[in-house]
Amino acid sequence: MPALAQFDAERVQELLPVGGPQRNIVDNLDAEGDTLWAGQQLTFTADGGDSWFLVDDPVLTPPIAPSAIVYSLDIEGPNIWIGLGFQDPAIASRPQSAAGFAHSEDGGQTWTYEFPQLDQPEDTLQVYGVSILPALPVIVPQQSPPFDIDFDPVTRDVWVAGFASGIRRLEWLPDSGRYAQDFERIVLPPDTLDSITPIQPYFFPFAPEVNEIEEALNFLGFSVLVDETGTVWAGTVAGVNRSRPEDVFDLVFLDSTNTPVDTLFDQRAWHRTSFDGTSRGLPGDWVIALEEQPVGDSAFEVGTVENPRNPVWLAVWRASEPEERFALVVTRDGGETFEPVLVGGRRFYDFAFCPDGATFGCSPGTIYAAGDDGLFISENEGQTWRSVRDFQDRDVPGRFVSRDARVFAVATTPTALWVGTGDGLLKSEDGGMTWTVFRVDVPTNPATSTDRTPDVEAYAYPNPFSPSADTFVRIRYDRPTARIRIFDFGMNLVRTINDATPNEQVWDGFDDNGNRVANGVYFYEVEASGESLRGKILVLE
């Protein structure tokens, strides 16, 4: 990403200055140099958070889903790829759905749209090497959001993990200087096989359904990575799949006179590692995230003492077997062996590592992991870890991220550690000791009252509030200390919060007995400085 001053002058005028990320759920982060990109709505900062810009390009609001948000994000130099998705309001369960892709080849100055990674109804067969497999075409966007995306800077191919649509590749065609018209379906081993090769015949159904049919879980893609050696890693609900450069074949078909009649290019063999209850497998089958840790000196050949192979980190979740566990896993030898760490009940979502030239207090062996229980930091290559859950703003008293908020994303620039949560974005310039909190806030008693910023003494958001989806509702008030009481519609006391912090507090939707409250209207009362501020909250699951 070029510095802001390098943007085309007219394009800079089109950028929309904003105060920070435009949603408090920040579940995608990536950085290139000093520039940090953040989603759900695509924003970026090139100066450590002093100024922010919203990418307000029509490509990011496609006609297929005007409410689309960032589901996945990958940046390699000036190449930016955004996977777009949405929750379909036309279906009662609001399934997560694919909305296509936006990509830029000039650091975000101009954008191009690509349609979702879906099939045509007639795509009922899939060629895999010498085999022709019966296939189920995935023709609707529901259940196929782009959960992960990886741009290969060597081949310029784009790899996507899209749950029901499986693992896909958008091939770059160097002879024509463009991408292929459609995403290619990638055939992985069925659940009954640990490996497949294109030179052996098979007849298993290639049907990545979401109803857990026999043999289908390894077709449900959640994460994808192309590492420095060109090895492709694909994480699914049934393990991690690996295809090395030496596993790629070009198959030449001959007629009876040994004359070539057809050629299939880039046919990949795959090897799968999954949970098997032994130390050779994974602690859990569901591979939710894959990330490569840069190590060594790229001036030397990969695999030498000066430039050892980059470790690959996996976040694995428990899938179908009761013996499976949530964990972090690392392979330091390209998938020959796997080392689990932090095995237990924690779910993890993302990784980041200490960048070259870092000034914020990390070392080359530092690893950051984002999870339900906070941010986990290891300063010795994953041998020991410490967790951070207390995120208080170092400069603004009473400004904090709730301890109940999940940590979804983590990224590093040379000057800062960045953490995305369900309650805002965090920045640390000292390795996670102190924090600056970026959050979308509506002030009480604004200088200028509008529909968005009414002149009120207290308010609650989000409102309506869903305890399962939102985790908590934040009650905002302009008082240094307070006690908060929650009442139901009959004015029965439901919850008392005596230790309310200055300016704001959260309520998780539970009563004083630890029971989740029923749907309905609730009233809150903020008692401070001898006066009471009141409002109402609609609880709606």
* Backbone φ and ψ of 470, nearest 5°: -95, -20
Q: For 248-303, what is each residue's pLDDT tens digit?
A: 998 887 777 777 777 888 899 999 999 998 888 999 999 999 999 998 665 455 56
Quick one: average pLDDT of 518-537? 87
Query: Is pLDDT above 90 for 197?
Result: yes
Round to the nearest angstrom and report the end-to-end CA distance of the chain: 41
Euclidean distance between CA atoms 224 and 251, whole angstroms? 25
Q: What pLDDT, on the 0 to 100 scale, is given for residue 214?
A: 61
Q: What pLDDT, on the 0 to 100 scale, is given for residue 20?
A: 78
Query: Is pLDDT above 50 for 446?
Result: no
Query: Is pLDDT above 70 for 156?
Result: yes
Query: Is pLDDT above 60 for 243?
Result: yes
Q: What pLDDT, on the 0 to 100 scale, is given for residue 282?
A: 96
Query: Is pLDDT above 50 for 235?
Result: yes
Query: Is pLDDT above 70 for 176?
Result: yes
Three-class secondary structure assignment of 54-66: ECCCHHHCCCCCC
Q: What pLDDT, on the 0 to 100 scale, is given for residue 450?
A: 41
Give the pLDDT band of residue 453 (cuts 50, 70, 90).
Answer: very low
Query: Is pLDDT above 80 for 183?
Result: yes
Assigned CATH class of 458-539: mainly beta
Q: What pLDDT, on the 0 to 100 scale, is given for residue 144?
A: 96
Q: What pLDDT, on the 0 to 100 scale, is given for residue 1?
A: 41
Contact 89, 99 (CB under 8 A): no
Q: What pLDDT, on the 0 to 100 scale, is given for residue 191?
A: 93
Q: For 455-471, what is each residue's pLDDT tens digit?
A: 457 888 777 888 876 77
Query: Is pLDDT above 70 for 478?
Result: yes
Three-class secondary structure assignment of 293-309: CCCCCCCCCCCCCCCCC
Q: What pLDDT, on the 0 to 100 scale, is given for residue 279?
A: 83
Q: What pLDDT, on the 0 to 100 scale, is given for residue 4?
A: 52
Count of alpha carbons within 13 angstroms of residue 262, beta-carbon side: 5
Could you give the angle at the alpha carbon of 115 between the alpha carbons of 109 and 118, nearest 5°? 150
Cα–Cα nearest to 217, from 140, 290, 272 = 272
Percent of the chain with pLDDT over 70: 89
Q: What pLDDT, on the 0 to 100 scale, is given for residue 339?
A: 96
Domain boundaries, the chain: 458-539
Strand order across the beta sheet in which 270-273 lies: 195-196, 270-273, 239-243, 232-236, 221-226
Give the pLDDT band of residue 43 (cuts 50, 70, 90).
Answer: very high
Query: Is pLDDT above 50 for 527?
Result: yes
Q: What pLDDT, on the 0 to 100 scale, is given for residue 88?
A: 85
Q: What pLDDT, on the 0 to 100 scale, is given for residue 456?
A: 57
Asked whether the CA dihedral 286, 353, 388, 28 is positive or negative, the reply is negative
> Mean pLDDT of all residues in the chain?
88
Percent of the chain with pLDDT over 90: 63
Query: Is pLDDT above 70 for 71?
Result: yes
Quick one: average pLDDT of 329-333? 96
Q: What pLDDT, on the 0 to 100 scale, is given for residue 300?
A: 52
Cα–Cα nearest to 112, from 149, 80, 77, 150 = 80
Quick one: average pLDDT of 151-169? 97
Quick one: average pLDDT of 308-313? 92
Q: What pLDDT, on the 0 to 100 scale, is given for residue 440?
A: 74
